[in-house]
Amino acid sequence: MTAPKANIIMRMAKLFWLPTMLLIISIVYSRMNSDISYSPEQVVAFSHKVHSGDYQIKCLFCHTQAESKSFSPIPTTRTCMVCHVALRSESEAIKPLADSYDTGRPLHWIRIYKLPEYAKFNHDIHLAANIDCSSCHGNVEKMEKTKHKRDFTMSWCIDCHRKPIENIIPSREISGIFVQPSNQFQSLVQAQFHPKTKPAYGAYINEQVFNKYGIKSAKQPDRGPENCSACHY
């Protein structure tokens, strides 16, 4: 190798060494500080496994605004006491809940999911497209303690927008996103997700079928948007 070529290679190596090392450090640091499996102790030892798993209480029964708002708020004490005013009302485990209900002071739950302020996510848009809660939150109805299930990075979201069929779980009955009044309706939903056909995501059932059963029409997103302003606005 001639001296000029060797010098060019050395200069190129020096030019890209620092950015490459910074990128590697950034990736390693990000993985080490991932929120995956984060499961803090809460003010009340709430079990989704008992409520949604054993008693089949649907997600939207408690998270009532997730289908119509951009956010999915934690249920109020009043929502909990709809049942617990009569069920296990003397239990020591729910004493903080009863005290909150009697005094009007809200419980201070520790937040598990939080996106950066510069990133926007709308629950209602995704639920209207018949995307199940478990697509992002995992099978919460099987969790004794709620934990952070997915690594909500930009690449994770973009990958789902680009390949929705591979990543998205269609709405399940336990989530309560859409009322499913009959086995006939359920079979129509399943038929649209037959593994041999793999339709564009969102093409579940035509609008007439939705109207017939009194259920709002799902959107036809196919692929999600990838422009910057879709999430950063």
Q: How far is CA 21 from the centre of its chain?
A: 33
Reduced to 3 states (helix: H, G, I; strand: E, B; else coil), residue 170 is strand
Q: How far is CA 157 from the centre of its chain?
A: 11
Domain spans in the chain, listed from the N-terminal domain onward: 48-74+109-230
Q: What angle do CA 67, 223, 183 make, to 5 degrees?
A: 55
Per-residue model confidence (pLDDT) at position 233: 76
pLDDT per residue rounded down to tens, the chain (233 residues)? 555 655 665 666 666 666 666 556 555 444 444 567 899 999 999 999 999 999 999 999 999 888 888 888 889 999 999 899 888 778 888 999 999 999 999 999 999 998 888 998 989 888 877 788 999 999 999 999 999 998 889 999 999 998 887 888 888 889 987 644 444 444 544 444 444 443 333 334 445 445 554 444 444 446 788 889 989 97
Q: Is the pTM of this model over 0.75?
A: no
Instruction: Give the whole-angstrom CA distance, residue 225 versus residue 194.
Output: 25
Residue 76's closest CA among 66, 59, 63, 58?
Answer: 63
Look up residue 31 and give its two tokens.
Answer: 């993985």
Instruction: Name 72's Cβ contacts closer than 8 Å, sequence gap at least 6.
Output: 63, 65, 66, 123
Per-residue model confidence (pLDDT) at position 2: 59
Amino acid at 192: Q
Is the Cα torsion angle 34, 169, 109, 87 positive or negative in sign? negative
Q: What are phi and psi for residue 170, nearest 5 degrees?
A: -70, 160
Q: What angle do CA 143, 95, 139 make, to 5 degrees?
A: 10
Element (H, E) at 232: none
Look up residue 56 and give its two tokens.
Answer: 């089949």
Q: What are phi and psi for residue 28, nearest 5 degrees?
A: -65, -45
Amino acid at 211: N
Per-residue model confidence (pLDDT) at position 10: 65
